């Protein structure tokens, strides 16, 4: 796995419930701030259509044509105002987020927790306030790192003729920022007299860097109890927003694990398969069915949220490398053994390097598993491609 998604937000927004629903990991969930102190790490999956359906036989890696590609997910400590100054568990929170390629900001859409995560009445807090608050904390965290050594760094850039993006990225490496992100952010500025830049300029620069290096989407959680006006306000943001009920999703996945229901994460319905249910279980499952019907086609939203983080926010595609382009198998005759997440616009040569560095270095050409056409190194891959790589590497 090379993909990591971070779950962020204030305490009591439902991050740990979302994490547990997405991974079925054993984590503590409680109705008080800072339940999560050390970050929870687990494996979740993005959902896509498996190409084996075109072959008319199952590959053994999917569930009725639904393929799940593993990614890492991190549930970090809850965030409170001034976390970038070390308040609450802020330093731990921000340090864990550096590893994430994208962030799902879990918002309490019900408005039943204040800005610091303390429980209150439904609709006693405006969830829109929480959206800007996370962005501000991450920006100020980055700006604080730069501000500590900025004058010395600016003089070094000028004196030694360094590339500013390289020098700045070096300072922000611990925040998970790469050189290309800094370069794109600096393109917004004509003034390159960095020695005269003050705190305001650094905050503005870090705001640009944050949007590039830590793209954020919203999980409007607790939609089952959220006032409709709150969900409407959140949906009108210029962000990807997915209404979710992590608690309902967790109940469904636990029921499926216990073989009470047949449920594929991301589906809009489920089937009850157990005949040994007590009255309480029957009522609970019927209540979940009614909830799912009321929120079609999105269901509980957790799987949709993860999928959109990967396929829309990060704009990734799924590609399947194989050894045999006719049968779509590896050398052991396993059909479609691997599924790789690649940035849209990646080439056949990029895939070769992802499979193995030596294969990338010795790349000759690729073969499209559907058309059997030979593909050059600059051929742009498409979502769902089945590709054979031919190289001189052994």
Query: What is the end-to-end Cα distance of the chain in Å, rounded?
Result: 24
Q: Is the dihedral of CA 250, 253, 258, 262 positive or negative?
A: positive
Statement: residue 297 has pLDDT above 90:
no
pLDDT in tens, 73-86: 998 867 766 665 66
- Residue 86 confidence (pLDDT): 60
The whole-number pLDDT of residue 109 equals 97
Cα separation, 10 vs 81, whole angstroms: 9
What pLDDT, on the 0 to 100 scale, is given for residue 377?
94
Quick check: bond before 297 cis, omega within 30?
A: yes
| CA dist., res. 12 & res. 110, Å (int) | 11
The rounded distance, in Å, linking the Cα atoms of 70 and 42 is: 10
Task: Judge contact between 110 and 222, C-beta under 8 A.
Answer: yes
Task: Please state, in angstroms and rounded to a whole number, the distance separating the CA atoms of residues 161 and 179.
Answer: 16
**Between 231 and 79, the higher pLDDT residue:** 231
Confidence at residue 37, expressed as pLDDT on a 0 to 100 scale: 46
Is 280 exposed, middle or buried, given 0-12, 13-18 or 19+ CB atoms closer than 10 A? exposed
- pLDDT single digits (tens) 4-19: 999 988 888 999 899 9
Which tens digits make up the pLDDT trace of 142-194?
A: 888 888 889 999 999 988 988 999 999 998 887 778 899 999 999 988 777 88
State yes or no: pLDDT of 27 exceeds 70. no
pLDDT of residue 196: 87
What is the model's pLDDT at position 89?
Answer: 47
What is the side-by-side order of every strand in the sheet holding 386-391?
340-343, 316-322, 386-391, 363-368, 374-375
Which tokens belong to 41?
């790490």
| CB neighbour class for 378 (10 Å; exposed up to 12, middle 13-18, buried from 19) | exposed
Beta bridge partners of 217: 104
Sign of the four-CA dihedral 211, 214, 215, 217: negative
At 347 the pLDDT is 98
Q: Which residues of 160-182 are buried (b: 16+ CB within 10 A; e: fewer)?
A: eeeebbebbbebbeebbbebebb
Give the per-residue pLDDT at 79: 74
DSSP string, 191-226: ---GGG--HHHHHHHHHHHHHHHS-EEEEEE-TTTS
- Hey, what are 301's tokens? 């939203």
pTM for this one?
0.87
pLDDT at residue 29, as a whole number: 46
Q: What is the pLDDT of residues 90-141, one digit of tens each?
A: 455 666 777 888 999 999 999 999 888 889 999 999 999 999 888 888 888 8
């Amino acid at each position: 796995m090379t993909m990591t998604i971070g779950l962020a937000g204030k305490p009591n927004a439902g991050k740990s419930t979302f994490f547990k629903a997405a991974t079925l990991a054993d984590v503590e969930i409680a109705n008080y701030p800072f339940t999560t102190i050390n970050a929870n790490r687990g494996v979740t999956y993005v959902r896509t259509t498996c190409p084996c359906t075109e072959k008319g036989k199952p590959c053994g890696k999917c569930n009725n044509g639904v393929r799940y590609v593993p990614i890492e997910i991190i549930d970090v400590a809850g965030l409170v105002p001034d976390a970038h100054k070390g308040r609450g568990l802020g330093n731990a929170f921000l340090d864990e987020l550096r590893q994430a390629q994208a962030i799902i900001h879990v918002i309490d859409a019900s408005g039943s927790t204040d800005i610091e995560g303390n429980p209150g009445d439904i609709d006693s807090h405006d969830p829109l306030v929480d959206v800007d608050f996370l962005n501000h904390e991450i920006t100020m965290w980055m700006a604080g790192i730069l501000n500590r050594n900025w004058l010395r760094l600016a003089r070094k850039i000028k004196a030694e003729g360094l590339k500013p993006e390289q020098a700045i990225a070096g300072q922000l490496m611990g925040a998970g920022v790469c050189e290309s992100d800094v370069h794109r952010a600096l393109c917004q500025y004509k003034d390159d007299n960095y020695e005269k830049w003050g705190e305001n300029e650094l905050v503005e620069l870090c705001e640009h860097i944050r949007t590039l290096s830590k793209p954020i989407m919203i999980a409007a959680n607790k939609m089952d109890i959220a006032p409709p006006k709150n969900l409407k306000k959140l949906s009108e943001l210029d962000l990807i927003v997915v209404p979710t009920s992590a608690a309902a999703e967790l109940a469904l996945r636990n029921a499926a694990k216990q073989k009470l229901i047949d449920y594929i994460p991301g589906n809009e319905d489920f089937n009850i398969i157990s005949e040994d249910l007590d009255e309480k279980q029957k009522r609970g499952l019927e209540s979940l069915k009614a909830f799912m019907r009321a929120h079609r086609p999105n269901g509980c939203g957790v799987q949709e949220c993860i999928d959109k983080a990967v396929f829309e926010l990060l704009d990734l595609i799924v590609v399947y490398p194989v050894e045999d382009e006719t049968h779509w198998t590896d050398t052991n005759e396993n059909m479609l053994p691997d599924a790789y997440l690649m940035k849209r616009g990646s080439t056949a040569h990029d895939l070769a390097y992802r499979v193995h560095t030596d294969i990338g270095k010795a790349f000759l050409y690729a073969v499209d598993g559907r058309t059997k056409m030979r593909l050059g190194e600059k051929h742009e891959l498409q979502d769902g491609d089945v590709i054979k790589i031919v190289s001189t590497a052994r």
